[in-house]
Amino acid sequence: MKPLALAIMGPTASGKTAAALAIARAMPAEIISVDSALVYRGMDIGTAKPSAEELASVPHHLIDIIDPTEAYSVAQFRADTLRLVAAISARGKLPLLVGGTMMYFKGLTDGLDDLPAAHAPLRALIEADAVRLGWPAMHARLRALDHVTAERLAPNDAQRINRALEIIELSGRPMSELLSGRAKLDLPFELLSFALEPSDRAVLHARIATRFDQMLGSGDDTGIVAEVAGLRARGDLHPGLPSMRCVGYRQAWEYLDGKIDRAALRETGIIATRQLAKRQLTWLRAMPERVVIDCVAGAPAAAMLAQLAAHGR
């Protein structure tokens, strides 16, 4: 019998961390972060990174593993996760894969080996077009060629828009078509996937607003503005890096540049987070194997534990 791993997926502010910690209190478990922002060291407030107490209460993996100047690919995540699941299972514990980076989940289950390799000259040409036209225009170009992939990406997600356009140019086919036509890989473990989804989107939006206000804090010397100011002071970061394009960090950088005021920082940050949640839910709807748990009613962890017991593991 293959070892079992549990996936806890969901949009931002759906309560994934709290649910995972509750499950880890009920049974021996370790948490593998499935979050493309939590990998960065020094980015704690804007990523809603688990607190020091939470990190100490149960072993966590794939958090604070790279510098904000570095990149972390889906392929790296898949390799790391396969290794970690095997090690955690060997210790007699349940691996909990927790996060909202749906491309990581899809890369884990489906793999990415059949996509064309990166092509630096072509990527430079796409970036030159983006400098001239802007990334929202490049997103519109992608939408005309591959609306499925474009729907899942933010208009300013330069890294992924560039990659999607690069794949179209190299293969002559949209990335969504290449991914959907790929045979599902046989994982070396059984993955039981739960999705925390809201029965009432307005409740999720209220949570998003509350959490962003908590990230902002009471002034510029606290919260995400102070965190981004400290990152800028290093001198080796810029707004084009994937780390600085994370929701909240991009808006705080613009605020510190004087492009927007504090009210606009709050408004655009909340809007961007809502848009992120919408894209995450779009990804989830394309995962028919998931077990949906209402994240705004009752106790999601209790519902997952009941499902796990019924699963017979």
Question: Token pair for residue 147?
Answer: 């609306």
Q: Which residues contact 74 (CB under 8 A, 6 or more apart)?
A: 103, 104, 107, 112
Residue count of the chain = 313
Could you write out the DSSP letters of every residue in 255-311?
HHTTSS-HHHHHHHHHHHHHHHHHHHHHHHHT-TTPEEEETTSS-HHHHHHHHHHHT
Residue-wise pLDDT for 235-292, tens only, equals 999 998 989 999 999 999 999 999 999 999 999 999 999 999 999 999 999 888 899 9
Residue-wise pLDDT for 173-197, tens only, equals 998 888 765 556 689 999 999 999 9
Q: What's residue 183's pLDDT?
A: 54
Question: Token pair for residue 265?
Answer: 């920082």
Continuous H helices in the chain: 16-26, 52-57, 74-90, 102-110, 120-133, 135-145, 147-151, 158-171, 175-180, 201-216, 223-232, 249-256, 262-285, 300-310
Angstrom distance (rounded) from CA 42 to CA 48: 12
Mean predicted confidence (pLDDT) in 222-243: 95
